[in-house]
């Protein structure tokens, strides 16, 4: 056994042990939310060609990490914030089937729709979206003109995971400049702030104790023209606990904490792109208190 592998295995043993101890103690329950965004058809790791990202990513290694965390933790949730399509020949050749199949094998539970999901038009989505073993959510798109897809995409969903009643809703950036008109025929864009407010209200009314937004709006000022960005939502919408972002390909190394309209804080994170990093946010449910959160993202394929 080489040294690196030995250290890796020893570390894993310790983590398994501490996971088991957390289960028998009377500590506050913890939910581990795993997230990717903008994986862009990166099924394989980046080639070992001396470039900056060489060796990073790849769905096989991502699955190993996911399986390991699921074995260690009592409560987990795996989500994607959109743009799983476009970027390598896998998409050009197979139109998204490979990406969806890989996500099914990894056990994704919920995903939102990114702008690149529309790259093969509504016809392309009709072929790929029904293959998903996970739920599609998007609260600010009206699918009523795309009859085959309307029943597949919901504005929000609820996942009951132990004591966590997690309400999730999805958001997409505007189509203008991002999706060609003929590629979203029958799907119309709704105001993201109003849609978010409506979803949060419906999720709260159903007793959710964790509200998560899968946002494909973008985080930073690279998209200055956007009418709305992740970092502007906390001031506009009450009740969002966590925004799992996408679209701007931002690696947020710390959870961004912003004061929330109506009190409390909203946390924001994002995992860059290409499946190089698997987001890991631990949510702690403390009786009668605000949720506590910390993040410890994992690089995929680094060592
Ligand atoms: Zn995008």
- Does 160 map to a domain? yes
pLDDT on residue 289: 84
pLDDT band at 145 (very low <50, low <70, confident <90, very high): very high
Residue 22's pLDDT band (boundaries 50, 70, 90)? Answer: very low
Q: How confident is the model at residue 225 (pLDDT cuts 50, 70, 90)?
A: low
Q: How far is the CA of 35 from the centre of ligand 1 (A)?
A: 15
Ligand 1 centroid vs 141 CA: distance in angstroms?
15
Total residues belonging to the chain: 303
What's the predicted TM-score (pTM) here?
A: 0.90
Residues 275 and 295: their CA atoms lie apart, in Å, by 17
Task: Tell me the residues surrounding ligand 1 (ion) with CB < 5 Å.
Answer: 83, 114-115, 247
Neighbour-count burial of 124, counting CB atoms closer than 10 A to its CB (0-12 exposed, 13-18 middle, 19+ buried): middle
Lowest-pLDDT range, 3-12, 52-61, 76-85, 112-121? 3-12
Domains held by the chain: number: 1
Average pLDDT for residues 196-215, to the nearest whole number? 98
**Distance (Å) from CA 177 to ligand 1 centroid:** 11
* 302 vs 216: which has the higher pLDDT: 216
In a domain, 253, yes or no: yes
Averaged confidence pLDDT in the chain = 91
DSSP 192-214: HHHHHHHHHHHHHHTT-SEEEEE
Residue 111, pLDDT > 90, answer yes
* Residue 11 domain flag: no
Q: Is the pLDDT of residue 7 over 70?
A: no
> Is residue 23, in this structure, part of any structural domain at all?
no
Q: Calculate how far, in angstroms, residue 114's C-alpha sits from the geometric centre of ligand 1.
A: 5
Range of the domain at 172: 28-299
Mean pLDDT across the stretch 108-118? 98
Asked whether residue 231 is domain-assigned, the answer is: yes
Region of poorest pLDDT, from 26-35, 65-74, 83-92, 153-162 = 26-35
Model confidence band, residue 224 (pLDDT cutoffs 50, 70, 90): low
pLDDT tens digit sequence for 43-78: 999 999 999 999 999 999 999 999 999 999 999 999
For the chain, how are helix, strand and coil distributed in percent, rounded to 5?
30, 25, 45
**CATH number for the domain including 108?**
3.60.21.10
**Average pLDDT for residues 255-277, to the nearest whole number?**
97
Residue 92 lies in a domain: yes
In a domain, 22, yes or no: no
- pLDDT above 80 (res 226): no
For residue 279, is it within any domain?
A: yes
Rounded to the nearest whole angstrom, what is the distance from the C-alpha of residue 3 to the centroid of ligand 1?
40
């Amino acid at each position: 056994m080489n040294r690196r592998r030995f250290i890796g295995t020893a570390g894993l043993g310790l983590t398994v042990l501490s996971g088991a101890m957390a289960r028998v103690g009377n500590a506050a329950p913890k939910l581990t939310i795993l997230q990717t965004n903008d994986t862009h058809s990166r099924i394989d790791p980046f080639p070992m060609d001396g470039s900056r990202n060489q060796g990073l990513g790849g769905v096989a290694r991502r699955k190993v990490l996911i399986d390991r965390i699921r074995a260690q933790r009592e409560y987990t949730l795996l989500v994607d914030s959109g743009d799983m399509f476009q970027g390598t020949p896998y998409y050009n050749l197979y139109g998204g089937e490979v990406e969806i199949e890989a996500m099914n094998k990894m056990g994704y539970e919920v995903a939102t729709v990114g702008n690149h999901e529309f790259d093969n038009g509504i016809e392309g989505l009709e072929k790929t979206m029904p293959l998903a073993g996970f739920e599609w959510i998007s609260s600010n798109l009206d699918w009523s003109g795309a009859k085959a897809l309307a029943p597949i995409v919901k504005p929000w969903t609820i996942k009951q995971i132990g004591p966590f009643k997690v309400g999730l809703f999805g958001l997409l950036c505007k189509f203008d400049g991002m999706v060609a008109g003929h590629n979203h025929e029958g799907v119309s864009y709704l105001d993201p702030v109003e849609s978010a407010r409506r979803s949060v209200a419906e999720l709260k009314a159903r007793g959710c104790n964790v509200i998560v937004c899968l946002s494909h709006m973008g985080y930073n000022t690279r998209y200055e023209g956007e009418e709305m960005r992740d970092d502007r939502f906390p001031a506009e919408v009450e009740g969002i606990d966590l925004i799992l972002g996408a679209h701007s390909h931002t690696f947020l190394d710390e959870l961004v904490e912003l004061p929330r309209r109506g009190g409390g804080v909203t946390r924001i994170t994002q995992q860059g792109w290409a499946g190089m990093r698997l987001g890991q946010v631990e949510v702690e449910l403390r009786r009668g208190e605000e949720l506590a959160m910390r993040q410890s993202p994992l690089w995929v394929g680094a060592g």
